[in-house]
Structure 1
Amino acid sequence: MNLTGVLPKEFANLHSLQEIDLSRNYISGPIPASYGQLRLRVLSFLGNRINGSIPEALGDMSTLEEFRIDGTTLSGRIPDFIGNWRNLTRL
């Protein structure tokens, strides 16, 4: 879709949202910590310019089934809390 800009923090206000798939765009900047409030099944930033590290606030996303960050410029280590994502089927 050739979307540009940063990830909007306001997505965290969409409490019924189950999927954020912004794959293959030109979105840059960090993942907002506020996304940890969401009960998502899918969170995909595949092929974007997302940077920074994975926020600790995402550790509470127990409903997450798919987390796609390949093709991004995230840095740092993979957080231990990902092991608590019991429903995760795709990383």
Structure 2
Amino acid sequence: MQRSNRTAAQVPPPPQPTPTAVEKPKPKRITVYVDQVVFSRARGAYRNTSHLEDDKSWSQFVEKALAAEAERRETAHNSGNQYEAETGALPSGRPISDD
């Protein structure tokens, strides 16, 4: 004959997974062609000032430069409003001329 254990605590159901915070999208890898003089100048600026500007990497330096130029153009041409994000492909290849 089995005895029932009425005083034993009920086992609670397993905890439900908590929703995770929205994950930040992975950085987008890009390839661009840059004039050698501009590249060398930017690289020199990065190497000599990254510790002063809290740049964590060359990628962050380039990202900050892209963001600054986008903001400048939005201010100049779109009343300071951000342009809608573009997801389509951009024209590829090098320019035919520097005119």
What TM-score bracket applies, with the shorter chain setting the length?
under 0.3
Whichever structure has more strand as a proportion of its residues is 1
Judging by fraction of residues, say which structure has more helix.
2
Question: Computing the radius of gyration over CA atoms, which structure comes out larger, 1 or 2?
Answer: 2
User: Which structure carries more relative contact order (alpha carbon 8 Å, separation 6+)?
Assistant: 1
